[in-house]
Amino acid sequence: MYRNQFIHQQIEGGVTAPQGFRAAGVAAGIKKNGNKDLAILVSDVPANAAGVFTTNKVKAAPLLVTMENLQGGKAQAVVVNAGNANACTGQQGLDNARATIGAVRQALNVEEAHVLVTSTGVIGVQLPMEKVLSGVGQAVKELSYHGGSEAAEAIMTTDTFPKELAITLELGDQKVTIGAMAKGSGMIHPNMATMLGFITTDAAISSDLLYSALRETTEKSFNMVSVDGDTSTNDMVVILANGLAGNKEITAKGDDYIKFKNALEEVCIVLAKAIARDGEGATKLVEIRVLNAPSDSDAIKAAKAIATSSLVKTAIFGSDANWGRIICAAGYSGADFDPNRVDIFLGDEKMAQDGCGLDFSEERAREILEQEVVVITVDLKIGEHKATAWGCDLTYDYVKINGAYRT
């Protein structure tokens, strides 16, 4: 997966790296290509849990069921299928989501309210329940404390690589682990966390603070990603904390909470960047840094608008240092700034100063744009606030992939 500079120690194992988590990924036949398409993740004990969900008014059946089950702040198992979104499927879709949960409950002997369900894939098609239920049985048999990578592979749709990682940190005198996996490549736009993300930890932390940490870190990570400007119907990020690390439970926003939240933010940012880099047809990861804005909100608005702009994205694909598209996107973002004070950098090459173009090196700019990671910095010079957003270039292959998505 896309590598990042880690502050915490990175270890292998993904979602099964923390103590007490098993996972599996199997080929249930839901996808036409025969690849893995159903994953189960389970904690040995009921875990405190929290989730954030798409803001799209059209929500898939599994999201509605999972949102209901998470109201109790507890979960023990998650079941995910790829290849079919189970969205816009009416009452039958809800019944199918609940039937999937029922199969997991029976196979694992866990409480039905502690099972979360989600789907990803084509909208408007009923789940092939015979295959789903058979896949659940197969996955339960293959559950393993080393099954994180198989699960990460099984939740992919148009992704070109699985996205998983795990890190460790110290809370008190106990080592705590956070593991995660995500899927996302298309229909990605910053409006909650437009993708699927599953995070596990053996830390002991209350459900309320778990939700608070997830919400805060989502705003700085998954909410700052855009591939194509489309907010999906199925997107969620959920976190399970089973407490098996044995640390003193985090029940207040003290030092341990801050340490945990910072580690969780690192995990979420790495996954968010991996999703941006794996945007459908993408060849480059684009990082947008907005500096010296009058408020956090203004910095976020400008960064998101630039990351989402189709004209900026196509210019980056063509290695065209068209800084005018960048300031244009900032201008319609709704951010408060003075256009006559804006400086724009492409990597270390300054292209504009005080809102006017400079005689910059086109050759150097093209070299920067041809790299795998392209960094654009926009200095508004009007305050002290900043934000970072991630996106990718927009290529011919994006159209090809989505022009034939159903077939």
Residue 77 CA, distance from chain mean position:
19
DSSP line for 85-135: ---S-HHHHHHHHHHHHHHHHHHHT--GGGEEEEEEEETT----HHHHHHH
Active-site pick, 16, 54, 89, 194:
194
Q: What is the residue type of 82? A: A
> Rounded distance, CA 236 to CA 52, Å?
6
For residue 170, list its beta bridge partners. 175
DSSP code for 24: E
Tokens 């199918």, residue located: 96
Burial code of 218-243, b = ≥16 C-beta within 10 A, e = fewer? bbebbbbbbbbbebbbbbbbbbbbbb
CA atoms within 13 A on the CB side of 164: 24
Crossing angle (nearest 10°) for helices 129-141 and 90-108? 20
Burial code of 65-76, b = ≥16 C-beta within 10 A, e = fewer? bbeebbeeebbb
DSSP code for 223: G
Tokens 């598209």, residue located: 325
> Rounded distance, CA 313 to CA 232, Å?
20
Tell me whether residue 194 is one of the annotated catalytic residues: yes
Active site residues: 194
